[in-house]
């Protein structure tokens, strides 16, 4: 579980999640805040670096599309 690929992917996606959460909190926008929490949770609970990256990329795309549509 604690190989280099997993730790690096977890660090990257967790950091992006924290960034989204802080952005959402400062802008008072619920979509980036929830997306940030989900990115942090995925980086904590998913045990495969590849699966974690795929899920997180999907979440980032979903947040982009939701934000672009007005949510």
- What is the pLDDT at residue 54? 96
CA dihedral in degrees (43, 48, 53, 55; nearest 10)? -80
Per-residue pLDDT of 10-55, as tens digits, reads 999 999 999 999 999 999 999 999 999 999 999 999 989 999 999 9
- What is the pLDDT at residue 3? 87
List alpha helices for the chain, DSSP H. Answer: 4-27, 30-45, 49-68
- What is the pLDDT at residue 1? 62
What does the domain layout of the chain look like in residue ranges?
Answer: 4-68
């Amino acid at each position: 579980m604690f190989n280099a690929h997993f730790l690096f992917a977890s660090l990257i996606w967790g950091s992006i999640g924290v960034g989204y959460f802080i952005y959402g909190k400062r802008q008072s926008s619920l979509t980036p805040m929830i997306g940030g929490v989900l990115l942090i949770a995925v980086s904590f609970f998913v045990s495969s670096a590849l699966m974690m990256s795929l899920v997180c990329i999907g979440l980032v795309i979903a947040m982009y599309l939701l934000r672009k549509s007005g949510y």
